[in-house]
């Protein structure tokens, strides 16, 4: 079972918003209580938070799928649903968050830095919040929106001031154990450490972090061995310390060639040319090691490198090495900006920066894209006629119908709203915005029915107004049309006998559009 994991893919699903509720106040001795449906609660979000005490992503390796709580449903008597609880996932300092395409979403550095990686869905509005002068008691409510659902990749880049690099068995783990309280696994074998080790070092009044970066061998930058996996851990280091083995038992090895090989791999990896270098000639406690160190020290200094002869076993030279590291750290911290905890929220850009939506002609039909229309569709309960009519009104007020007409859409054309893999399909049917006289019983919308007498009557009056006499008003035209209907027989379009009063209460038996049922 792995104990150190520095790359993992997470499957995240934020909570869904709770649905609003359609409710009308019904209480004894209090008639006409009006709508009192509450709103749904917000869905829980998923948040990544930096915790410097965490050093691995192993928890997410074992359980990569995470889901936040859903929002609660609304209720009558103006009771809103409860918000879903946010899910906070702690990550190590230096975690990079990318999407599945490899695009960097955030670089999380600093204790307490947070990223809202998946936002919870909005709660749907209840009918109390949807009431207006036209809809005094809506018979519908809005559905809660689904929360964000996505896959992200977490990649850890160790945050350390100094990085120790060198061949396997050069003594990096021994050095970090000697200068700090880190206790890496150490043994006499020519194989590399399998995980990076971190140690906190104090030199005088300066405290800094040293990382032992494993896996560097010839060809590491091209993926040979483990170098390709761990080279990224030195990207954040202020300086690099070459730990060179002066007492290698492998034939054909010498300190100068080892140094050149590691520098070649760093150059091929790229981006590390400006980091200061120190050289630690390790294992001088071995007689042959001291002799070889004496042979190469002057040549290394001739290259402009600061060289220290050290022994992780006896502690010789380590104090001078740590104070040299501290000098570099102090200089780098002078120019470094102070890292303050911050809260990052991902906000996707709108599809069309010039407006709230765009209409595109496709092989499948007219596709409407935009944050608002797509959100409105997700909020609509398509089993409720009045809710569908409300959606039509919103799209009409936004200008969707006008845009479709200007682009050449004909009645009956297919209109799709949403992304290509999750679209809602409509038949284009231009309409007019609903008024109070257009609404039937709660939960119904006359415009969604083929037999629409009120609409047909208004159209007849509008056509007659074009040929009316100069002294006639609209009421006179309507009266004349009503008087003419008996001569033509029953009016099939209006559903009436052709005789109707000019003054009536909407919804009463005198209303020519009355369907014969009691109004709720």
Of 409, 434, 458, the residue at which a domain comes to its end is 458
Residue 347, pLDDT score: 64
Give the range among 11-25, 80-94, 297-311, 380-394 with minimum mean pLDDT. Answer: 380-394
C-alpha distances out from residue 107 to 49, 103, 149, Å:
11, 11, 20
For residues 235 and 159, the answer to whether their CB atoms sit within 8 Å is: no
The partner residues of 152 in beta bridges, in order of sequence, read 10, 99
Specify whether 330 is located in the same domain as 385.
Answer: no
pLDDT tens across 471-508, in order?
A: 888 888 888 887 776 554 444 444 443 434 444 454 55
Query: What would the mean pLDDT of 401-411 be, rounded to a whole number?
Result: 87
Intra-chain end-to-end CA distance of the chain, in Å: 66
- How much is the mean pLDDT over the chain? 80
Strands 104-108 and 306-309: unpaired
Residue 11, pLDDT score: 96
Q: Is the pLDDT of residue 437 over 50?
A: no
Specify whether 153 is located in the same domain as 166.
Answer: no
Q: How many Cβ atoms from other residues are within 10 Å of residue 24's Cβ?
A: 18
Alpha helices, H only, 160-286: 172-179, 227-230, 255-269
Specify whether 181 is located in the same domain as 306.
Answer: yes
CA 54 to chain centre: 23
Q: Would you say residue 251 lies in a domain?
A: yes
Confidence of residue 440 (pLDDT cuts 50, 70, 90): low
Specify whether 173 is located in the same domain as 268.
Answer: yes
Specify whether 198 is located in the same domain as 330.
Answer: yes
- Treating both helix axes as pointing N-terminal to C-terminal, what angle do 287-302 and 255-269 enclose, rounded to 10 degrees? 50
Query: What would the mean pLDDT of 5-28 be, rounded to a whole number?
Result: 90
Specify whether 218 is located in the same domain as 133.
Answer: no
Which CATH number fits the domain that encloses residue 447?
3.30.300.350
Which is more confidently placed, 432 or 398? 398
Confidence of residue 355 (pLDDT cuts 50, 70, 90): low
Of 140, 157, 174, the residue at which a domain comes to its end is 157
Q: What residues are designated binding site for Mg(2+)?
A: 173, 193
Which CATH number fits the domain that encloses residue 148?
2.70.210.12
Q: What residues are designated binding site for GTP?
A: 166-173, 191-195, 212-215, 282-285, 311-313
Specify whether 376 is located in the same domain as 256.
Answer: no
DSSP character for 491? B
Question: What Rg value do the Cα atoms of the chain yield, rounded?
Answer: 37
Confidence of residue 41 (pLDDT cuts 50, 70, 90): very high
Alpha-carbon distance of 259 to 440, in angstroms, equals 85
Specify whether 333 is located in the same domain as 189.
Answer: yes
251 contacts: CB under 8 Å, gap ≥ 6 = none
For residues 166 and 262, the answer to whether their CB atoms sit within 8 Å is: yes
For residues 244 and 282, the answer to whether their CB atoms sit within 8 Å is: yes
Residue 353, pLDDT score: 42
Q: Is the pLDDT of residue 224 over 60?
A: no
What percent of the chain has pLDDT above 70? 78
User: How many domains in the chain?
Assistant: 3
Q: Would you say residue 25 lies in a domain?
A: yes
> Shortest CA distance to 108 belongs to which of 118, 99, 98, 100?
98
Output the six-digit token pair for 82.
């409860």
212 contacts: CB under 8 Å, gap ≥ 6 = 164, 172, 173, 175, 176, 182, 184, 193, 196, 197, 198, 199
Q: Would you say residue 286 lies in a domain?
A: yes
Specify whether 324 is located in the same domain as 205.
Answer: yes
Which CATH number fits the domain that encloses residue 322?
3.40.50.300
Q: Would you say residue 280 lies in a domain?
A: yes
Residue 337, pLDDT score: 59
Alpha-carbon distance of 236 to 232, in angstroms, equals 8
Specify whether 281 is located in the same domain as 231.
Answer: yes
Of 458, 488, 512, the residue at which a domain comes to its end is 458
Specify whether 375 is located in the same domain as 302.
Answer: no
Q: Would you say residue 485 lies in a domain?
A: no
Specify whether 313 is located in the same domain as 374.
Answer: no
Instruction: Please give the residue range of the domain that contains residue 85.
Output: 7-157
Q: What residues are designated binding site?
A: 166-173, 191-195, 212-215, 282-285, 311-313
Output the six-digit token pair for 389.
């009519």
């Amino acid at each position: 079972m792995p104990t150190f994991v520095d790359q993992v893919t997470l499957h995240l699903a934020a909570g869904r918003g709770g649905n609003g509720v359609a409710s009308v106040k019904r209480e004894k001795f209090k008639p006409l209580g009006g709508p009192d449906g509450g709103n749904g609660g917000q869905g829980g979000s998923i948040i990544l938070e930096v915790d410097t005490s965490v050093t691995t992503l192993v928890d997410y390796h074992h359980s990569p799928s995470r889901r936040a709580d859903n929002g609660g449903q609304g209720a009558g008597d103006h009771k809103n649903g409860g918000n879903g609880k946010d899910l906070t996932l702690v990550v190590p300092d230096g975690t990079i968050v990318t999407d599945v395409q490899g695009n960097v979403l955030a670089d999380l550095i600093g204790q307490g830095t947070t990223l809202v990686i998946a936002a919870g869905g909005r709660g749907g509005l209840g009918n109390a919040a949807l009431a207006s002068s036209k809809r005094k008691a809506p018979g519908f409510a809005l559905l809660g929106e689904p929360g964000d659902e996505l896959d992200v990749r977490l990649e850890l880049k160790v945050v350390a001031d100094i990085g120790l690099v060198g061949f396997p068995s050069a003594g990096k783990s021994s050095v970090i154990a000697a200068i700090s309280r880190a206790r890496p696994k150490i043994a006499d074998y020519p194989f590399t450490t399998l995980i990076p080790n971190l140690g906190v070092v104090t030199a005088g009044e300066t405290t800094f972090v040293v990382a032992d970066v494993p896996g560097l061998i010839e060809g590491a930058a091209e993926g040979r061995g483990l170098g390709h996996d761990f080279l990224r851990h030195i990207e954040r280091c202020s300086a690099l310390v070459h730990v060179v083995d002066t007492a290698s038992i492998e034939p054909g090895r010498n300190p100068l060639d080892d140094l050149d090989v590691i520098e070649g791999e760093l150059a091929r990896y790229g981006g590390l040319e400006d980091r200061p270098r120190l050289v630690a000639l390790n294992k001088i406690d071995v007689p042959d090691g001291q002799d070889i160190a004496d042979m190469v020290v002057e040549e290394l200094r001739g290259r402009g490198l600061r060289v220290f002869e050290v022994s992780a076993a006896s502690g010789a030279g380590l104090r001078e090495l740590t104070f040299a590291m501290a000098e570099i750290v102090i200089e780098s911290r002078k120019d470094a900006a102070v890292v303050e905890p911050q809260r990052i929220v991902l906000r996707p850009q709108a599809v069309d920066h010039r407006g709230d939506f765009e209409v595109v002609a496709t092989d499948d039909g007219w596709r409407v894209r935009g944050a608002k229309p797509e959100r409105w569709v997700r909020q609509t309960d398509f089993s409720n006629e009045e809710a569908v009519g409300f959606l039509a009104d919103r799209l009409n007020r936004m200008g969707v119908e006008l845009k479709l007409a200007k682009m050449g859409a004909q009645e009956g054309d297919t209109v799709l709203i949403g992304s290509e893999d999750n679209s809602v399909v409509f038949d284009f049917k231009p309409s007019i915005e609903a008024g109070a006289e257009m609404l039937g019983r709660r939960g119904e919308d006359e415009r969604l029915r083929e037999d629409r007498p009120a609409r047909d009557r208004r159209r007849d009056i509008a056509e007659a107004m074009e040929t009316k006499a100069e002294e006639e008003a609209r009421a006179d035209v309507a009266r004349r049309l009503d008087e003419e209907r008996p001569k033509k027989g029953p009016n099939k379009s209006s559903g009436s006998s052709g005789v109707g009063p000019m003054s009536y209460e909407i919804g009463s038996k005198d209303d020519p559009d009355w369907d014969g049922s009691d109004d709720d």
